[in-house]
């Protein structure tokens, strides 16, 4: 009996040992010994992270083991970075973002053709390395309704505007009631089909989009409880006009009780814009702004604000000092700019508009998000592993904005938790508060959250891109994890495609309500006679 009991006991111990080992190794991925930072709870400690089925299951000081392990000793383990203003929604674009810690890539400024939202998402399903999302595009809706834009080009998402901007109606034509309702109906279709919000490049259409149209555009988003991201009416401009543009979008949002984001407000007057956003946020309004850590911006030659009568005559700039061709590296003259306007109107240009030292100040602004405004380069839709020597040049913010933010923080003693907030949590919080479940589960390093994670060396991580060479990958990333799958390991991008859609669930019915003078009179006046049929309120403004 004793021998039998001993044997039984030994067998039991062995079974328990095997069982415990199996349980301990149940994790798909374990990240060990890193400085775990969560911007929401402000947790900041050395810990281990266990991941299974794409989610964070355990954060603990206990020893964890799994099928795959990443030794994060001496590294930061933080939520994957989120970019809400990333125009290069294509395999090569995602590639440079991932090298820079990006796990969720969205274009909520230019956005995508609102009548093709399901097709845009379907084209990326199962073949995308990062998470992806898009807004319904105000500009492209105008191109469709006014210029008759159509065809496969519209499936290219934000990049479609390189063709649609070759027409002029979208930027120069004021919409009457019929056309205006067509624009709004297109936008409503995009939101019905799950677009993240509405993106408006209002500043490119400043002379044609009336204040009434902009209000009605934001009203479409408000009916769904979603946000409108706005390149404001006078950006870029002087400080007064910059803030007037922000005030227009914010006033609309307050009147509609709707979320608003003020895009790339790192321009003259940014302090007042930030104060407006901060005070409104403290009052409970879901409003926010985004910045990127570069003194120069980028746009196309035919942007309305870059024309000589505005950029040179009114604002007092010189092309020779402020406008550069990213391909040749040459600065424009008035003559060469006017030639480019005729020959290649959608050619990219880099414009230097702010002091370089302001880049550091922008990173200290509480509550902001860092959104790169990533531009595209050729080949626009090449394979993700296209050789580097076959890729053109663009603004360095495309490939280096996140690593540069961390580097500038390191060099200027900005708290690292502040940078983790603006790179991940702040965007997730604001978008999550619109009801976007995918963002309620990201931007946080907590048990139960989606395992979008970055692991980087805070002492060495850096951007490597310059204006001369804008697409040199960032370095210092031990790992970039997307939905529990390692997509970047030791600065090398892997051939995996774990990206998931960032979108709302499609709805069965539209929420579109046509705008008319009659409807306005019924809602906002008492006994108004029909003295001027067809005249919209406020004379059409």
pLDDT of residue 313: 95
Residue 462, Cα to own-chain centre: how many angstroms?
Answer: 21
Per DSSP, 35 falls in state E
Q: What is the three-state SS of 414-457?
A: CCHHHHHHHHHHHHHHHHHCCCCHHHHCCCCCCCCCECCEEEEC
DSSP code, position 306: G
* Per-residue exposure over 360-376, b if at least 16 CB sit within 10 Å of its own CB, e if not: ebbbebebbbbbbbbbb
Alpha carbon distance 491, 497 (integer Å): 17
Which of the 8 DSSP states describes residue 235?
A: -
Torsion of CA 107, 108, 114, 118, to 10 degrees: 60
Q: Whose CA is closest to 199, among 231, 225, 176, 172?
A: 231
pLDDT value for 13: 41
Quote the pLDDT of residue 19: 40
Contact criterion met (CB below 8 Å) for 146 and 170: yes
Instruction: Give the separation between CA 141 and CA 117, rounded to whole angstroms.
Output: 12
Region for 495 from its dihedrals, namely left if φ exceeds 0, alpha if ψ lies in -120 to 50, beta otherwise: beta
Q: Pick the closest to residue 370 from 463, 264, 450, 456 (CA basis).
A: 264
In the chain, list all ranges with CATH 3.20.20.140: 81-293+357-440+500-541
pLDDT of residue 534: 52
pTM, 2 dp: 0.93
How many CA within 13 A on the CB side of residue 284? 1
C-alpha atoms less than 13 angstroms from C-alpha of 363 in its C-beta half-sphere: 29
Q: Is 348 left (phi over 0), alpha (psi -120 to 50) or beta?
A: beta
Question: In this structure, what are the phi and psi dihedrals at residue 104, rounded to the nearest 5 degrees?
Answer: -125, 120
Q: What does each of the 541 residues of the chain score in pLDDT, given as a tens digit?
A: 333 444 444 444 444 444 444 454 589 999 999 999 999 999 999 999 999 999 999 999 999 999 999 999 999 999 999 999 999 999 999 999 999 999 999 999 999 999 999 999 999 999 999 999 999 999 999 999 999 999 999 999 999 999 999 999 999 999 999 999 999 999 999 999 999 999 999 999 999 999 999 999 999 999 999 999 999 999 999 999 999 999 999 999 999 999 999 999 999 999 999 999 999 999 999 999 999 999 999 999 999 999 999 999 999 999 999 999 999 999 999 999 999 999 999 999 999 999 999 999 999 999 999 999 999 999 999 999 999 999 999 999 999 999 999 999 999 999 999 999 999 999 999 999 999 999 999 999 999 999 999 999 999 999 999 999 999 999 999 999 999 999 999 999 999 999 999 999 999 999 999 999 999 999 999 976 665 555 454 544 5
**pLDDT number for residue 530:** 60
Second CATH level (architecture) for the domain 81-293+357-440+500-541? Alpha-Beta Barrel (3.20)
- Angle between helix 397-412 and 91-99 (nearest 10): 10
Q: DSSP per residue over 240-305, as a string?
A: HHHHHHHHHHHHHHHHHT--EEE----STTHHHHHHHHHHHHHTT--EEEEE-S-SEEEEETT-GG
Q: What is the distance between the alpha carbons of residues 333 and 339, in angstroms, rounded to a whole number?
A: 10
- pLDDT of 527 reads 76
Phi, psi of 49 (to 5 degrees): -125, 125
């Amino acid at each position: 009996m004793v021998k039998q009991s001993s044997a039984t006991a030994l067998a039991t111990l062995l079974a328990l040992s095997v069982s415990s080992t199996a349980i301990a190794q149940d994790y798909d991925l374990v990240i060990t010994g890193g400085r775990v930072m969560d911007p929401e709870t402000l947790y900041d400690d050395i810990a281990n992270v266990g991941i299974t089925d794409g989610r964070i299951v355990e954060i603990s000081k206990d020893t964890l083991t799994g099928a795959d392990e990443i030794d994060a000793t001496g590294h930061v383990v933080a939520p994957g970075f989120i970019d809400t203003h990333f125009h290069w929604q294509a395999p090569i674009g995602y590639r440079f973002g991932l090298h820079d810690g990006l796990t969720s890539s969205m274009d909520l400024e230019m956005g995508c053709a609102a009548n093709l939202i399901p097709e845009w998402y379907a084209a990326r399903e199962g073949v995308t390395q990062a998470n992806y999302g898009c807004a319904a595009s105000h500009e492209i809706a105008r191109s469709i309704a006014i210029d008759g834009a159509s065809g496969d080009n519209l499936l290219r998402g934000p990049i479609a505007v390189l063709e649609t901007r070759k027409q002029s109606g979208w930027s120069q034509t004021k919409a009457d009631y019929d056309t205006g309702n067509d624009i709004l109906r297109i936008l409503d279709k995009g939101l019905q089909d799950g677009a993240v919000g509405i993106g408006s490049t209002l500043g490119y259409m400043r002379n044609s989009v009336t204040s009434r149209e902009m209000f009605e555009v934001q009203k479409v988003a408000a009916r769904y409880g979603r946000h409108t991201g706005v390149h404001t009416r006078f950006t870029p401009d002087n400080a007064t006009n910059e803030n007037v543009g922000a005030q227009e979008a914010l006033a609309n949002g307050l009147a509609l009780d709707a979320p608003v984001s003020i895009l790339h407000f790192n321009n003259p007057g940014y302090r007042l814009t930030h104060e407006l956003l901060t005070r409104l946020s403290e009052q409970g309004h879901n409003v926010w702004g985004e910045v990127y850590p570069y003194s120069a911006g980028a746009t196309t030659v035919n942007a309305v604000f870059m024309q000589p009568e505005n950029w040179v005559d009114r604002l007092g700039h010189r092309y020779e000092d402020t406008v550069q061709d990213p391909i040749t590296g040459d600065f424009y003259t008035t003559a060469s700019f006017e030639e480019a306007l005729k020959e290649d109107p959608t050619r990219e240009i880099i414009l230097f508009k702010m002091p370089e030292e302001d880049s550091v100040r922008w990173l200290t602004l509480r509550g902001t998000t860092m959104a790169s405004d990533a531009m595209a380069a050729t080949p626009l839709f090449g394979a993700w592993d296209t050789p580097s020597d076959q890729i053109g040049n663009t603004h360095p913010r495309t490939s280096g904005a996140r690593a540069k933010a961390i580097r500038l923080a390191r060099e200027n003693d900005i708290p690292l938790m502040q940078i983790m907030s603006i790179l991940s949590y702040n965007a997730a919080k604001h978008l999550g508060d619109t009801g976007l479940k995918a963002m309620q589960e990201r931007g946080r390093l907590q048990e139960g959250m989606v395992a979008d994670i970055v692991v980087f060396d805070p002492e060495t991580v850096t951007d490597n891109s310059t204006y001369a060479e804008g697409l040199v990958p960032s370095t210092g990333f031990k790992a970039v994890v997307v939905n529990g799958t390692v997509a970047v390991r030791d600065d090398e991008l892997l051939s995996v495609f774990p990206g998931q859609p960032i979108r709302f669930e499609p709805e069965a019915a539209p929420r579109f309500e046509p705008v008319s003078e009659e409807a306005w009179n019924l809602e906002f006046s008492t006994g108004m006679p029909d003295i001027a049929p067809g005249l919209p309120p406020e004379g059409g403004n």
